[in-house]
Amino acid sequence: MDSYFHPECFRCHSCCYPITDREFSLSGKHPYHKVCFKELTHPKCEVCFQFIPVNSAGLIEYRCHPFWSQKYCPSHEYDNTSRCCSCERLEPRNIKYYRLEDGRSLCLECMESAIMDTGDCQPLYHSIRDYYEGMHMRIDQQIPMLLVEREALNEAIVGEKNGFHHLPETRGSCLSEEQTVTSIQRRPRIGGRRLIGMRTQPHKLIRRSEVTAILVLYGLPRLLTGAILAHELMHAWLRLKGYRNLNPEVEEGICQVLSLMWLESEVMPKYQNMASSYTASSSSSSKKGAKSQVENKLGEFFMNQIVNDSSPAYGDGFRAANEAVKKYGLRATLDHIRLTGFFPM
């Protein structure tokens, strides 16, 4: 029996229209228009929304953020595409990030909970001091806490005789010297996608003890601001309790542990009992309302940054400190550091 071929029956498995071109793509038993097959299989950039180009070797090459899985063309790493100063995500072409007055960019999700001036930050600051007190690590001194621009923070760091800071950008500092620091007294207002009209004021710091003030970069989400405060308050606690001349790996490492512990208590309720295994659990969580999924995801990202930091002091130091705290508890670890300057093995 003769067999007949009906061209209109040879249809693309994706769009169901007949394939009339001489060339087509085949996947398994299913034929596709070449354009349809490319739409299905060729990755698109999540920044410019174009197909990610092939490289000189004919391979599809792209970059992917390790936490957010944001895929993008390699060219966006050096074509002045804005990156959120908080969560590191690149600015998509269809969404405009906010521009802070000191040049940083902030995505819409981070902007939702961003803390913009010193007054707005005080409740968070005192809640973290309460967290320390709940772990029997009360800080008796009333340490000024100021939110500052990037330039003011960098100038204050230069004014310190000693100190070790996280590169490429420091977001907080625990000061020991007398300085005049320009802090943010009134939050900027939104003008289009720019934040403008910020009011600043010079603040004279007087040295009455080993700690004169804690500075934090303005415009960061609440959980990141809190993680920085928890870190810097640990620096303050160590200095006020007489811990002297610690090497950066030990001091920054144990400060990062406290930062992570606070984040865990905020983001992951199951970790509430972990604090009690270190020392005593904090009651701060009972004072907080539920967080949005967006804020919780940001908190997980900030925790991931601490755990996977690759720097010697903040990364290796944290992992050594965290291992010691898990094995011996926070109090025993701190006692050992006081006596030896090192973590217990």
Residue 222: pLDDT over 90: yes
Which DSSP letter does residue 205 get?
Answer: -
Domain range enclosing 118: 114-340
In a domain, 185, yes or no: yes
Task: Provide the pLDDT confidence category of residue 280 given band limits of 50, 70 and 90.
Answer: very low
Specify the 3-state DSSP secondary structure of 204.
strand
DSSP string, 176-194: -S--EEEEEEEPPEEETTE
- Asked whether 181 and 215 are in contact (CB, 8 A), the reply is yes
Cα–Cα distance list, 142 to 116, 125, 162, 209, 233 (Å):
22, 11, 22, 11, 11
Residue 210: pLDDT over 60: yes
- Average pLDDT (116-132) is 95
Q: What is the pLDDT of residues 301-310, one digit of tens each?
A: 999 999 999 9
**Confidence at residue 285, expressed as pLDDT on a 0 to 100 scale:** 39
The CA-based angle 328-331-336, given to 5 degrees, is: 75
Residues 310 and 229 in one domain: yes
Give the total number of structural domains in the chain.
2
Question: Encoding tokens for residue 274?
Answer: 């972990």
In a domain, 50, yes or no: no
Residue with the bigger pLDDT between 279 and 66: it is 66
In a domain, 149, yes or no: yes
Task: Provide the pLDDT confidence category of residue 89 given band limits of 50, 70 and 90.
Answer: very high
Q: What is the pLDDT of residues 139-192, one digit of tens each?
A: 989 999 999 999 999 888 887 766 555 555 789 999 988 888 888 887 777 777
Give the global pTM: 0.83
Strands 180-186 and 172-175: unpaired
Residue 316, judged by CB atoms within 10 A of its CB (0-12, 13-18, 19+), counts as middle
Residues 247 and 134 in one domain: yes
- Average pLDDT (98-112) is 93
**Confidence at residue 332, expressed as pLDDT on a 0 to 100 scale:** 96
Give the integer Cα–Cα distance in Å for 235 and 237: 6
Question: Encoding tokens for residue 47?
Answer: 């920044």
What distance separates the 2 farthest-apart alpha carbons in the chain?
A: 104
Closest to 99 measured CA to CA, from 164, 218, 193:
193
- Average pLDDT (301-325) is 96
**Confidence at residue 207, expressed as pLDDT on a 0 to 100 scale:** 83
Residues 140 and 20 in one domain: no
In a domain, 102, yes or no: no
The residues, ordered by sequence, that sit 6+ positions from 152 with a Cβ below 8 Å of its Cβ are 181, 182, 183, 200, 215
Task: Give the lowest-confidence range in 35-49, 258-272, 284-298.
Answer: 284-298
In a domain, 215, yes or no: yes
In a domain, 58, yes or no: no
Task: Give the lowest-confidence range in 126-135, 169-178, 222-231.
Answer: 169-178
Residues 169 and 30 in one domain: no
Task: Provide the pLDDT confidence category of residue 232 given band limits of 50, 70 and 90.
Answer: very high
- Average pLDDT (33-59) is 84
Residue 334: pLDDT over 90: yes
* Average pLDDT score, the chain: 86
Which phi and psi angles does 19 have, rounded to 5°?
Answer: -95, 115
Task: Provide the pLDDT confidence category of residue 257 given band limits of 50, 70 and 90.
Answer: very high
Q: Which amino acid is residue 218, in one-letter code?
A: Y
**Confidence at residue 269, expressed as pLDDT on a 0 to 100 scale:** 64
Task: Provide the pLDDT confidence category of residue 237 given band limits of 50, 70 and 90.
Answer: very high
In a domain, 46, yes or no: no
Residue with the bigger pLDDT between 159 and 13: it is 13
**Confidence at residue 20, expressed as pLDDT on a 0 to 100 scale:** 78
Which phi and psi angles does 44 have, rounded to 5°?
Answer: -105, 145
Give the integer Cα–Cα distance in Å for 296 and 199: 31
Closest to 255 measured CA to CA, from 271, 239, 274:
239
Q: Which amino acid is residue 127, in one-letter code?
A: S
Residues 24 and 120 in one domain: no
- Average pLDDT (133-140) is 93
**Confidence at residue 5, expressed as pLDDT on a 0 to 100 scale:** 64
Residues 32 and 176 in one domain: no
Task: Give the lowest-confidence range in 41-50, 124-133, 296-305.
Answer: 41-50
Residues 216 and 318 in one domain: yes
Residue 126: pLDDT over 80: yes
Residue 7: pLDDT over 80: no
